[in-house]
Chains A and B, each alone.
Chain A
């Protein structure tokens, strides 16, 4: 038995090495992006070795040009704005409806109906909403960032309502009753007692919503394409029509587009992994 325990504790080196080798599949496309982004078109010979070798000079000129062409700071600002506002609205509004619905759906058939109604929205593909939404946002005068944010708040509501009202089951009603006896209104009870307790779920909701919104292309593509505004992913479409052959410029821009989320991931890796798993498994 003693011997067996020791064997189990041993590091499984073959698997470790295999997994490290497997990382090539992830690292290679990223490596390629980096070297191409730093090179000049003249350095791009037709051979694979020429494309994939390290650049002779680590010049930042492609990045400066890419930033100018894609109006980088403006696109970045729009992406940050859309993501941040969507996340804040989702956390506040979805936890609020999650609280109201979650506390009442067991006893009140209306709230149960509301729950079923909103959650079934999860099955509605964007493809069917897309064309009517374009018309609708245009008619309402919000075929811009505002319209995109409102769409997101609605699209992620089914999932977030499920997460919040599921989390609420673990929060004892006694906590609220104590606050009520102290004279707090229901809304105050929510805001001062329940909302802070829901913090772990806020983190999950924020991570999932932020990742999906940040990387989404289709919604801003159809809704704000006429507004002259871009998000960071949308701006990358520029290279498909103009500058068709200057891959160095395009890749510098792609790298710039990937960088913010990569930095964010390096800083908050643990929270992101936890959030993603909680959101999927709960």
Chain B
């Protein structure tokens, strides 16, 4: 009995200090952020409690509204683009091709590179190379990044360039779990090409599809580095993501309290998105 107690004490000693660290750098700032959201704190000096005023103001704030619309539009577009392309790429990379491992290795390269530097490189590409090439063919030679209507597409392209690498590798590992005889049996029933994919391959890799969906939506909703590198939220605040707005106005714009309320709202949205997604994809898996 005494031995058991010792064992339990060791377990507690292993857990508690690490738990305190977790509390100090995750839960404590979360609580503080929540508290700041009820104040008019500028980030310096004194502040007063303002109750729910920040939350009421959030819903009337055009800039905040625009940033949510942009972020959600961007996240959905990027998620669809990335998953469609990744799935096609994964099927290609999983078929009977030459140089299989070399090709897989090379297609993964974008994922390991830092998003900020990649963003700077694409910034140049969009600003100088693309307009010049379009100009050569008689098109309008202006940068997509300067257009408040289309700059968000540039961000989708850059984020996809990197995210496709990751999602492809996950789809490949999904495709490898599909046994060869499933295809052989399907072929006897006439399932080839699109029918094979729709009725055989895709249902079998749904768990991997849901991993990728969760991964994509969550990462894209938190987009930050690419915004910094490509547009800094512009032109005309058309590409201001939620994270970027909170960073920009909360850290240096004197809106510490107000942006804390924004961050709380953002947190709630992330949780809702994740829970909905997990239950929806969870149900799909059960149906099988």
Indicate whether B267 reaches chain A with its CB closer than 8 angstroms: yes
Indicate whether B133 reaches chain A with its CB closer than 8 angstroms: yes
Complex CA–CA separation, A240 to B230 (angstroms): 11
Q: Which of A25, A123, A185, A187 contacts B161 (CB 8 A)?
A: A25
Contact A19 to B92, CB < 8 A, known contacts A48-B129, A127-B222: yes
Question: Do B96 and A11 touch across chains, with their CB atoms under 8 A apart?
Answer: yes
| CB proximity of A20 to chain B, nearest CB, Å | 7
The stretch of B30-38, B55-63, B148-156, B280-288 in contact with A is B30-38
Q: Which of A97-134 contact B (CB under 8 A)?
A: 97, 99-101, 103-104, 111, 114, 118, 121, 123-134
Question: Do B266 and A104 touch across chains, with their CB atoms under 8 A apart?
Answer: no
Question: Do B18 and A51 touch across chains, with their CB atoms under 8 A apart?
Answer: no
Complex CA–CA separation, A255 to B185 (angstroms): 50
Q: Which of A129-146 contact B (CB under 8 A)?
A: 129-136
Indicate whether A33 reaches chain B with its CB closer than 8 angstroms: yes
Task: Give chain A's interface residue range (CB within 8 Å of chain B).
Answer: 35 or more
Q: Is the interface of A mostly helix, strand, loop or mixed?
A: helix
Task: Give chain B's interface residue range (CB within 8 Å of chain A).
Answer: 35 or more
Q: Which of B5-19 contact A (CB under 8 A)?
A: 6-7, 10-15, 18-19
Complex CA–CA separation, A281 to B174 (angstroms): 9
Total A-B pairs, Cβ < 8 A? 251
Question: Do A100 and B14 touch across chains, with their CB atoms under 8 A apart?
Answer: yes
Which residues in A have their C-beta under 8 angstroms from that of B25? 129, 133, 136, 150-151, 153-155
| CB proximity of A95 to chain B, nearest CB, Å | 10
21 contacts between A and B (CB under 8 A): A9-B96, A19-B93, A20-B103, A32-B129, A51-B128, A97-B14, A100-B11, A104-B11, A121-B27, A128-B29, A128-B263, A130-B247, A132-B260, A136-B29, A150-B25, A187-B10, A233-B117, A262-B109, A273-B105, A273-B169, A277-B169
